[in-house]
Amino acid sequence: MSRAALLALLLAATPALADDGHGHAETGEDHVHDDHAHEEDHDDHAEGGSVSHVTEAHGLRAVHAWTRATTGDAALVFLAVENPSEDRVVLTGASSDLADDAEIVGFSLGDGTGSYAPLAEMPLPPGGSLRFAPQELAIRLTGLRAELGEGGYIEVTLATDRGPIPMDVEVGAADATGHSHAGHAH
């Protein structure tokens, strides 16, 4: 599938990718958007430092950023991005000091094989949210300069047309399928 066709498909499917429940519906966990208010400085994970599972910047919220432990040189980062504003936002890329390259990617099936392809940008409608999840959307980090050990955190920045959103990304188990809620309550 060509990149243009993939981008057109993802743009057409943006409402289907929207996830007003932060991706917790499959776990039966109820969430109210105000649950995370003022949590950006909580310290329930880190020793000697503040790590947050919610980042608020430029009127946007990045929630539950996570990745899998790996000894390889690539990783996928997953999260939910919320736009409570009345204006459209465009996600334009990503970066990390830990990787040579970071980019937003979309999953597609071609000839029975799944793969991720780079997306130049991803629109986020007013009042909407996007779920970056396995076999959907992700931030792909390549050229990792260190192993990602389970229980650790890495810093990744999501780029938007409003400005950068720096995030603390939790490193889960190598076979993790979602963000771990261990160590914090909702």
Q: What is the pLDDT of residues 156-166, one digit of tens each?
A: 999 999 999 99
Domain 3-25+54-172 maps to which CATH number in 3.40.50.300, 2.60.40.1890, 3.30.750.210, 3.50.50.60?
Answer: 2.60.40.1890
Q: List the single range of 69-73, 103-107, 110-114, 142-146 with lowest mean pLDDT.
A: 110-114
Domain boundaries, the chain: 3-25+54-172
Residue 8 has pLDDT above 80, yes or no: no
Count, residues in the chain: 186
Structure-token pair, residue 30: 């109820």
Whole-number Å distance between alpha carbons of 10 and 12: 5
65 closest CA partner among 158, 162, 143: 158
Smallest Cα–Cα separation from 21: which of 10, 35, 32, 13?
Answer: 32
With cut-offs at 50, 70 and 90, classify the pLDDT of residue 172. Answer: very high
Contact by Cβ (8 Å): 169, 77: yes
Q: Tell me the pLDDT band of 71, cut-offs 50, 70 and 90.
A: very high
Residues 6+ apart with CB under 8 A from 8: none
Question: The whole model's pTM is what?
Answer: 0.73
Alpha-carbon distance of 42 to 183, in angstroms, equals: 11
